[in-house]
Structure 1
Amino acid sequence: MVFPNFVDKARREEVIALATKFMYPSGLAYRPGETVDANQQVRTSKGTFLNGDSSPALKWLENKIAAATFLPSGNGEFWNILNYKYTQHYDSHMDSFDPKEYGAQYSQRIATVIVVLSDDGLTGGETVFKREGKGNENKPISNWTDCDADGGLKYKPRAGDAVLFWSALPDGNLDPHALHGSCPVVTGNKWVAVKWLRNKGEYNH
């Protein structure tokens, strides 16, 4: 679901200005037993984590997301502010943590909101959902990086938009359609603020 003009330019600029002070290479969530790879090419953006209380704009956004999703702001993780430049991308992945791979979860990610802060001169950088569509939940993926492989649905970032998708079904089972990735940036600069929402507040980070 796309919410056009979800946030105004002044608040977007406020978040970018704050995040710029704290950026570092983005990391991954590793499965138990996996080794951290400092040279991984799965996720190549830069980013930072910010508490909603660190900025009036972020607090305002948290309240608006709570109103749009009907999930309390306390169910949200810290903001992940991300910047993608030339060739930077995030291979297709799930935001949720499958207990079969990650072990039992006290609290599960059930929804994601991506707020587009800037699309300055941007080509590429779409968000792709390779398994979107009826009957595609188990579709084989031939290329996790290339957004033109395997078909699916692509959303072109537009500054001010918010994109909401659900990682879990009403019965609590994870939804394979939530597989998504950030396509490589061809030109320009992409800034987004990501909010992961859990089924329980006060979860263990």
Structure 2
Amino acid sequence: MYPSGLAYRPGEKAEAEQQVRTSKGTFLGGDSSPALRWLEDKIAAVTLLPRTNGEFWNVLNYKHSQHYDSHMDSFDPKEYGPQYSQRIATVIVVLSDDGLMGGETVFKREGKSSINKPISNWTDCDADGGLKYKPRAGDAVLFWSARPDGQLDPHALHGSCPVVTGNKWVAVKWLRNKGEYDHDKP
């Protein structure tokens, strides 16, 4: 496990002490265990996307006060440049919720009238309203970052609220519109 990283826009420099994403994590390939392969097959059946469109699993651990500010999983070409393969969906699998308080996933722009709502605080999970999902072990949450026409969906803005007590363990799978992309590039 190592400190979770961020995707930077062209010209941005990585900050060693960034406080946007404070969890620790690691990556696992879907073929590293029968359970992950089974789960990837289930995701493919639900999304109708082939397994090869998925990135490696990002297994994450959030401890006391660790969080991830609200963000998009997709890469807006206006900010990140042209994308060969775009992240169009995310699956979050909750691995453990033992003694967990806090750690919700917040969707600040969820709801019909919230699509263009200005965000006043990207870190505070109680600011700006929205929908909060309380993690429960065994749950899987699927949300789409792009609409069927390929346009990015502002409703997908989400973040991980700070953990108050306990540990939050999740496995995240990002799905792209094209498979066989370069895992080292957005």
The normalised TM-score by structure 2 is 0.97
- Tell me whether 1:57 sits opposite 2:72 in the alignment: no
Unaligned runs of at least 5 residues, structure 2: none
Moved more, 121-130 or 52-61: 52-61
Shift of 1:135: 2.2
Unaligned runs of at least 5 residues, structure 1: 1-22
2:99 partner SS: coil
The one of 152, 172, 186 aligned to 2:130:
152
Shift of 1:103: 0.2
Misfit runs of 4+, over 4 Å: none
1:75–1:198 contact (8 Å) kept in structure 2: yes
The AA in structure 2 aligned to 1:159 is A
Deviations 1:22-71 (A, max 9, x none): x1110000000000001000000000011111112111111111111111
1:135 partner SS: helix
The one of 23, 47, 53 aligned to 2:25:
47
CA RMSD of aligned residues (A): 0.6
1:114 partner SS: strand
1:106–1:204 contact (8 Å) kept in structure 2: no
1:113–1:162 contact (8 Å) kept in structure 2: yes
The one of 98, 101, 104 aligned to 1:126:
104
Q: Which residue of 1 aligns with 2:163?
A: 185
Deviations 1:162-194 (A, max 9, x none): 000000001100000000000000000100000
**Identity level (%):** 88
The normalised TM-score by structure 1 is 0.88
The AA in structure 1 aligned to 2:167 is N
Q: Which residue of 2 aligns with 1:85?
A: 63
- Tell me whether 1:168 sits opposite 2:131 in the alignment: no
The AA in structure 2 aligned to 1:37 is E
Name the count of aligned residue pairs: 183
Q: Distance in 2 between matches of 1:64 and 1:170?
A: 21
Q: Which residue of 2 aligns with 1:194?
A: 172
